Structure 1
Amino acid sequence: MFNNFSKASHGLLMATLLGITSLNAQTVIYSENFNSGTPAFTLNASDMGSQTGGSNTWVINNVYDGGFFGGQTPTQPGGITGGPESKYMHIKSDMTDNASFNAGFSGVTGNVLTKMNTAVSTVGYTNVSLDFWTLCYGHASNTTRYYGKTFYSIDGGTTWVQNPTTYSQIDTWTKVAPITNPVFDNQPDLRFAFMWVQAGGGGAADPAFSIDEITIKGNSGSVTPTITTTFTAGASYCPGADIVVPFTSTGTFASGNTYKVELSDANGSFANPTAIGTLASNGNSGNVNATIPAGAANGTGYRVRVVSTDPVVNGSPNGTDFAIAPGQEIVVTSDPAGVNNLCGGSITLSIPNTYTGINWSPGGQTSNSIVVTAAGDYSVSANGTGGCPAQSAVISISAADAPTANFTYTQPSGYLIEFTNTSENGVTYLWNFGAATTTSVNPTFTFPFDGEYPVKLVVTNECGTDSITILVDVKKLVGINDLQANANLLIHPVPTQDVLNLDFTGATNENATINILNPTGQIVHSENCQLTASLKRTIQLGNLAQGLYLLSISSESGTITKKFIKN
């Protein structure tokens, strides 16, 4: 319900104004008395559906005598510049030029508007107010048929907002109570408009809506700038999404100022905000282009705010929470599980059927699974949670064949055998010599005695396993050093039971190793010694089982071997 300003309340209003101190000592920011120059008003504007041509229109003149049809417009008191009959802005009919709206022909309906067409800057001012002198009777008993009202705009006249008070039953020039609103403060473009409302009906009475001595005032001084973030958030955004964040501000900002959009954490806290967009401007409104970070965590309590750099001002957050859906990497499974080699067959790649907008590359398939029969790199993109884009890692599919095991061997000296791996398509290898194993590609092995030894090679790759066993024929090759050494080594007793005695002559100052090996080539006894011109050694054999054994003495000069039997 709008307040109504009437003649009956005029006396009380004026008394109240005497007690108002908040508006004292104000600075006049703008004034208009219509007595000279070109007033900054557009008469009979079409805003808000107003009439632009009718029997009643806005004019500016100093006509007070309406003659036979209009009667006499009340003259002005001493407080109005140029009174008692100065120029004023008012409604007139097509039959008169004074403030008469043809009250006797009250069937006229429709609203008539006059508006300011020039911006008034209130930047740096607080407690900004509008006041003016007015006449506006309209109707003897009904204040809603014919009356006046005012509007304000802070966006250049694009949008008009009605002030609460309406005016009627005022038949003498009266100065209205100042119209105040915090939104009037610190505005770069403040404007006002006046509307004459004609709802129709009998009982209409002059004078019509009349305006004079318009004044806009405010308190000058230091004003704390503010920023209001006016972003209307959607329910959810994807990482990487672009948004436009509008804002308004009050106060003065430096020419080098930058407005920034900050993103809260998922709980709406700005303790550690993330800057997601900037706008270089010192204006009091604008739109900042921003981007939701690609790495933003999943959450439902996000907000944004606009801040400034010069001066530093933290703006209010937007009014509602919004969600950020998670950035996703699509997990691709294969069938057979964990296999990425065709091995002469095929592999099925699949993703969960919760995804939409699926696109496999290469190929462009749109189903949640594909059958791969050719080697290459495969990936898939789709829309995941919240419709956000998701991407898989690259899956590399190879086309290796099953392995084939094979090897050859040579015997360069003694019982030493060198193996050459001739397998195909192998990835890993396992050799088994009976007494030992190795994973070397091309190993060597020393066998203990003459004889045939089964050697097994197992070859494996992602397509399977293959193996081969070959009997290796080992016959000792005797070298020069061995002949010389064998002539100088005696062992006794042979056969033996608990001890074995060694008598060695002929070598000097060489480190050597004495080993005893069983028939499978395992070392069952080992000790170090120093070869001298005459070496005698006794080895305890009590812990060995009965059977055939090989004694070897190895040094840099060569290897001496002797077989013996333990009973």
Structure 2
Amino acid sequence: FPLPFTIPNTAGQPAGITNAGGSYMHIVSQAALNSGISNCCFVAADGLCANAANHFSRMTTDITTGPNAVTLSFWWLCGGGNNNYGEVYYSVNGGSSWTLVSSPIAQYRNQSSWVQQNISLPEFSNRPTLRFGFRFVNNVTANAQDPGFGLDDITIVEDGAVVNGITCSVPAPLTFCQGTSLVVPFTATGSYAPGNVFTAELSDATGGFLAPVAIGSLASQSSGSIACVIPPATMVGTGYRIRVVASDPATDGAPNTADITVEAAPYAGPDAQVTLCKNTGTYALLDLLGGSPSPCGAWTDASGSPFSGMFDTDADNAGVYTYTTNCPGPCPQDMATLTIALENPANAGNDVNVQLCSNAPPTDPISFVAGGTLDGLFFYQGQTTPLPDFSVAGVYELDYVVYGQGPCENDTASMVITVVAGPEAGTNNTVTVCANAAPFQLFSFLGGSPDLNGTWTGPTGQPSSGTFNPSTSQPGLYTYQVPGIPPCQDDQAFVAVVVDPCLGIAEMPSESAPRWLGQQGGVHFFQLDRSGPVHTEVRDATGRVVPASAGYDQGRALVEMNGTTGLYFIRFERAGEAVSVRFLHRSE
């Protein structure tokens, strides 16, 4: 449970302390901070509620001292007790180890009001590296008192050494535009290391250097002038100051003595490049420059002619467009260029609905792209492969995608391909029947898998029932036609019917029978059993005689004829013997 406690006030600071009553370095207990109290106080270690602890504060950088006497000076107070006190340390090796300063005081305690302490030891002189630290020791005790260990106005002074300092001036007039260049002369006193850099800093608009802005620098060990630039983004104001600081040793210079005014300068923005997609509308060029350009300006196009500043990707040309400010005030105007490139948009064309026949030749859907470029990809059910088999009836929905380049978006066209089942009339065939044979169905002699919904026509084009009666039907070429559903065309197949009288005409023995060897051009070749005069006669499938000329050469007959494609018969007769041979003639 919480216990009440009282923390006495810390003694006021005397006038000898710089900025007396201001901030100072001191110990404060966590319990006090939790209660909103931040003066110099501590909780003495008792081994129960508060453990023993040491608190060490030290310099983070070294100083270099010469042969003269060096004095560490500080104001301090500490109530403490025999086991609770402050200590002073120094290090000559960058803080790797520390030495307690025991003279003139080893333990700083029993002092509740501010006093000044000066320490000058031979060990402080001629040191390339020297730094100091302060420690508060809080050991277990039964008798201690506030305040804790507090310090202020800590200084290190070498006798006869010149204290580093920097002053600067800003030439009149003290009014500058944003982005303006200026030269800041400065005077540096003291000693600076070889790698030192002087930097000119600009305050905020009220003259404060809480967050200064570097505006120029100079690597030097002595006084000089720094070329500076007022940052273009500096806020407009009338209370700016400039100071010069050094890096080695770290030294903050005094600000110049008069207020500086910063006025707004026209700003055209940074030069920029942009790629736009054609036919995507109108763009405000000022928005494409970037930054925050001043609106009080005008545009010219690539030819130097005045331009509205609104770029139409349908009508305007690519090129370099220039924006030049024309703002009121004494500050110089500004100019920026915007280089515009135009990219052709992706074009997949129009949506398409296509009908195909399943028995059509193999089809590439790229041939159906309507008005688009041919460099895209087809997607079917979200994938580029496999595409549908267009020989199978069905409805296939594809997306044709052309990918855009640069800022251009992809373009997609929908393609619906409807595949209609094609008609099937079967395959052609030839049948020879005797004149006294029984009637039969022509359909049974079609090859393949013909559809059942076709119709028959006879050799002269007349309709036929599809039943052939050898004793009454006309021999010849019968056509079976199956109607196609658009876009499919009708399909046809043929059955050539030959009616043989079967009168017992003597045939040559099989081993000596003429043989058809084939056709070359309009000439048919037949192998005969022997040479010698032969009478030939050619008839078509209806029995009509067909004009033909025949010649003989070394046991072969060469028969030349003209006629439509179909089945024909040739009759060879010699010495009272006759034989017929069937052959197929193809018209050229």
**Which TM-score tier does this pair reach, normalised by the shorter chain?**
0.3 to 0.5
Highest RCO, 1 vs 2 (Cα 8 Å, sep ≥ 6):
1
Higher gyration radius (CA): 2
Q: Which has the higher strand share?
A: 1
